[in-house]
A and B are shown apart, each in its own frame.
Chain A
Amino acid sequence: MKEEKCKVSENINIKGKYYSMKIETAYIAKKSRPGNFVMAAVSTASDPLLKRPFGIFRAAPPFIWLYYEVVGKGTELLSQKKKGDFLTLLGPLGNSFPGLENKNILLVAGGRGIAPLFYAAEDYVSRNNLFLIYGAKSAADLNLLDKLEALNMTGTYFYTDDGSAGKKGFVTTDIREIIETQKIDLTISCGPEAMFKSLNGELKGLDVENYASLEAIMGCGFGICYSCAVKSAAGDYKKVCADGPVFRLEDIEW
């Protein structure tokens, strides 16, 4: 974990509100593991004050990539960064996805939740049977399809809420059937809270291990401020930044 002044190598508008940024950062790129995230100083002034958390989308030293959605002031500022601009990053932060071999893994991504799962997919694909369910609101929010295609996963399933791309439905629509027919050993998911809620319901009672990468409003990113607390199923609070962002789905109170 280091705070590093990095250089933006590329900041590309993929489509609509979605961007991908390539950043030169030898230290973070080398140290990062799938599931880790960074805190990015979107402004060099005091407003917005806090750094913003982003999952690492890809890493190939000396570069990392972010995949982000513009949702407010901070991400708007990030989208304005140009090639050659400096960007201070803190990272790599948080825990990582489990190391896996010879498993039938189902990745479940909702919207921008695809970011950390893409990194996981690159890591897992050669040593496991990898499946992906990827859902978003509409075609405008379903991105990176060519890159995902290029990974040659064993199976991919795409959904949109409105049917404008892939199948009309949610990531949970066919999940039980997929788990059964593909003999899935474990699921790894990332998306909005509502998705985790219904996922938790769908997966209850199935004989699969479930990991979830959570988002929360975050202060520091390295465990000191206790802002990003989520309630665990046991009743205590966990810090998304330092105890996570990856948790057993069942360990969180949904």
Chain B
Amino acid sequence: MVAGQKKKAISEDMKTKQKFFGAPLRGGAIRGAGTEKKEHEQNLTGSAGAKRVGAPHPRRRQEQEKNDLSADLKFITLKNPLIPASGTFGYGEEFSPFFDLDILGAFVMKGIYKDPRPGNVPPRLHETASGLLNSIGLAGPGAEALKKIIERVAEKTSTPVIVNVCGADDEEYLEIAQVFDAMPEVALLELNISCPNVHAGGKCPAQDEQHTFRLVKLIKQNTTKPLIVKLSPNVSDIVSIALSAEEAGADAISLVNTFLGLAVNLENRKPVFNNIFAGLSGPAIKPLALRLVWEVARQTVVPVIGIGGISTGRDVLEFILAGASAVQTGTINMVEPTASVRILKEIEVLMTQLKIKNLNEIKGELRI
């Protein structure tokens, strides 16, 4: 089996990388501090100016003695692990009426292409048991408009801004990545190679090891900011894809994007969505996502950002226990715009209850 062989090859390669960097395979792995990484750090502290992305804020020091919520992603330390996910948090500013964006670890902009996109023909949403199927089709204003939005939003918050980079082909991915790589207001890039709502049948680069490798490498070779690669759960062997991304230079892996699903209209005997399939998200997918995060996190050296159905502080700690260094919350932000405030409170309460001093203590410590 070709796929199996490939995986083995990559795993072996990872082991040598391992030796080279002299770091353990999982848990508190220290990422090899190559010059590449130093550049990132400089980029973050240097060009991002006075932003407190690297170190905890002095005012927080007192609290910190109690509960340390900081999330170490190697290339950046976030003040907490909570990152609202792409497509479910608008451009951040829509949430300013509800809470101060400064409370977040980071946040991800809605996915962006070069040109404005109208999105898919409605219906675009179908509710399911404890979840929802969406077929939004990455509607958006285009890269130039997003630049202006980011300039405006970054002025109002010191929380790191992550851009969700999309593309119809490799060239567009690269172009978008470069546009936002050049923006000092942007802390990190997240490569969205996993949107199921753009191509027929839900196809995306993250379903192919070679394509993932090629694309991640292309972006890494031509950009300087840390790169998160967002994976699709709609594959038979997600670990191979994760290792391909890592091998190609990904600085972190985020997973999962939505699960492909089908909704049927019994009355007219047609699929609900014009694209037939749509992406499932929300509490319904949490156990599926948790399993995938655990599988990937124990194999990769780079940090993993867990995504899928996270709605409570308990969910966040479960993902960290499964190996995630940070998490993204999606659907819950649509359902409950103040969810971030509640979730952060719940994390603090749980940490006190369970006597967890800092989140690193439990990262990947699921007892098997």
Q: From A49, A222, A228, give the contact of B282 (CB < 8 A).
A: A49
Count of chain B residues near A, Cβ 8 A: 33
Contact of A51 with B by CB under 8 A: yes
Q: Establish whether residues B139 and A237, one from each chain, have CB atoms under 8 Å apart when the complex forms.
A: yes
Chain B hits for A181, CB < 8 A: none
Contact of A50 with B by CB under 8 A: yes
Q: Establish whether residues B334 and A220, one from each chain, have CB atoms under 8 Å apart when the complex forms.
A: yes
Q: Assuming the A-B contacts A3-B337, A49-B331, are A236 and B132 also in contact, with contact meaning beta carbons closer than 8 angstroms in the complex? A: no
Contact of A178 with B by CB under 8 A: no
Q: Establish whether residues A217 and B125, one from each chain, have CB atoms under 8 Å apart when the complex forms.
A: yes
Chain A's nearest CB lies how many Å from the CB of B41? 32
Chain A hits for B132, CB < 8 A: 49-50, 219
List the 9 closest pairs (A to B, CB-CB), nearest first.
A224-B90, A227-B125, A220-B334, A46-B130, A46-B283, A226-B139, A47-B130, A227-B124, A226-B136
Count of chain A residues near B, Cβ 8 A: 28
Main SS class of interface, B = loop
Report B101-150 residues with CB < 8 Å from chain A CB. Answer: 110, 118-119, 122-127, 129-132, 134, 136, 139
Chain B's nearest CB lies how many Å from the CB of A184? 32
Q: Establish whether residues A3 and B98, one from each chain, have CB atoms under 8 Å apart when the complex forms.
A: yes
* Cβ-closest chain A residue relative to B331: A49
* Cβ-closest chain B residue relative to A224: B90
Q: Which residues of B contact A (CB under 8 A)?
A: 87-90, 94, 97-98, 110, 118-119, 122-127, 129-132, 134, 136, 139, 282-283, 311, 331, 333-338
Cα A229 to Cα B131 in complex, Å, equals 20
Contact of A2 with B by CB under 8 A: yes
Q: From A224, A228, A231, give the contact of B88 (CB < 8 A).
A: A224
Query: What would 30 A/B residue contacts be, using CB atoms closer than 8 Å?
Result: A1-B97, A1-B98, A3-B98, A3-B338, A46-B283, A47-B130, A49-B132, A49-B282, A49-B283, A49-B335, A217-B123, A217-B124, A219-B132, A219-B334, A224-B90, A224-B94, A224-B110, A224-B334, A225-B88, A226-B119, A226-B124, A226-B136, A227-B124, A227-B125, A227-B134, A228-B125, A229-B119, A229-B122, A229-B124, A236-B118
Contact of A144 with B by CB under 8 A: no
Beyond A50-B335, A222-B337, A226-B139, 6 extra complex contacts between A and B, CB < 8 Å? A46-B283, A49-B127, A49-B282, A217-B126, A219-B125, A237-B119
Q: Assuming the A-B contacts A46-B283, A47-B129, A236-B118, are A224 and B139 also in contact, with contact meaning beta carbons closer than 8 angstroms in the complex? A: no
* Cβ-closest chain B residue relative to A242: B94
Chain A hits for B130, CB < 8 A: 46-47, 49
Chain A's nearest CB lies how many Å from the CB of B316? 16
Contact of A48 with B by CB under 8 A: yes
Q: Establish whether residues A46 and B311, one from each chain, have CB atoms under 8 Å apart when the complex forms.
A: yes
Most chain A CB within 10 A, of B88, B125, B130, is at B125
Cα A237 to Cα B122 in complex, Å, equals 10
* Cβ-closest chain B residue relative to A51: B335
Chain A's nearest CB lies how many Å from the CB of B30? 37
